[in-house]
Amino acid sequence: MITRLSAAAAVAFVLALLWSLPAFSHTIFDELHYAEVLKVTLEFDLRQIRDDAELREYQTAVLRYQDREGTEREWLLEVKARGKFRLENCDFPPLRLKFSKEELERRGYDEHNKLKLVTHCLDDRAYGRDYVLREYLTYRFLNELTPNSYRVQLVQITYQDSEKKSRQLVRWGFILEDTDELAERIGGEECDCYGLHFDQLPAENAATLQLFQFMIGNADWDLPSLRNVKSIRLNDSGAVVVVPYDFDFSGFVNAYYALPNPNLDQSSVRERILVGPSPQQEELRDACQRFVSRKQEFVRLINSMDQISRDSRNDCIDYLESFFTRDVRGLL
């Protein structure tokens, strides 16, 4: 027997269905985060961004790309150099992108208006590409392990000089989700929770944090001083979770400019050192099982990066393999 609904009943049913769905938040990062590789053009004064990097002043820029429907999009925004070590030691500085909150609201987006752009460090195409793509992979690994991680979008960028139209660079980079957006996504707010100890973190968060940094060979971080980690207080429980970032000093990336941590007697960035106290064995075993369960996905991600040379991809796989077959056993 087929029951026919009146028009009013049908409308009520649809509204009830919509109300039962979770609220949808759309940010500028969501807008850009839809393809394996997003091709963008970023136009600004290239000479100024290099020469005035230390001033850290915003300058006007234009971002162009095709959205997921294939429509050409254009945003007027501001860019400036950011960072510390890379700003002083790289040929091209990492950038911060700042969108107008008014323009975001006018177009129907949430207010999160700042994004980090991790750029090529070196003008040398091969090394510059290799380092930035290997660091991108570390963020993807962490995404596979926990939602308490920064989302990233790989981009192929055409840097167009606004002052000299014939001058342009085509390089690789990736966009990093804003910290406030990450905090909102996992149900919390960023806090300056200095002086944290590992036993103050949720057990799974602490074990994942330590084991991940150990896996990629990153000793360039510290919990009490919040060096290269962000702390987020969860709204429901009040617990603080910690999210790492900035992995270019890791053994996995193996950048030529990376320095071992002298405070930990690290002889090489390729040497894995556990930062902080050893986790409880039960927590460590649980974390190791989660890491092992994602191993094949890690390898798949590496092999999917055909922009990196085969030798470099093999080196990435070998370095991970040494974690699973040798170094993690020492911890257990």
Give the pLDDT confidence score for residue 2 in this predicted structure.
44
pLDDT in tens, the chain (332 residues): 444 555 555 545 443 443 333 334 599 999 999 999 999 999 999 988 877 666 678 999 999 999 999 999 999 999 999 987 877 788 899 999 999 999 999 999 999 999 999 999 988 888 889 999 999 999 999 999 999 999 999 999 999 999 988 889 999 999 999 999 999 999 999 999 999 999 999 999 999 999 999 999 999 999 999 999 999 999 999 999 999 999 999 999 999 999 999 999 999 999 999 999 988 889 889 999 999 999 999 999 999 999 999 999 999 999 999 999 999 888 87
CA distance 85 to 112: 26
Beta strands in the chain (DSSP E): 38-44, 59-66, 72-81, 95-99, 114-118, 152-161, 168-176, 188-191, 229-234, 240-244
User: Domains of the chain: which residue ranges?
Assistant: 28-180, 187-331
Q: Please give, one letter per residue, the 3-state secondary structure of 174-190.
A: EEECCHHHHHHHCCEEE
What number of CA atoms fall less than 13 Å from residue 171's CA on the CB side? 27
**C-alpha to C-alpha distance for 200 and 197, rounded to whole angstroms:** 5
**Rounded Cα distance, 36 and 34, in Å:** 7
What is the three-class DSSP state of 14? helix
Three-point CA angle 109, 112, 116, nearest 5°:
120
The CB-side HSE value for 233 (13 A sphere, CA atoms) comes to 8
Q: Check: pTM over 0.85? Answer yes or no.
A: yes
Q: How far apart are CA 312 and CA 218, in angstroms?
A: 18
First to last CA, the chain: 63
> Angle formed by the axes of helices 295-304 and 125-145, to 10°?
150
The amino acid at 203: A
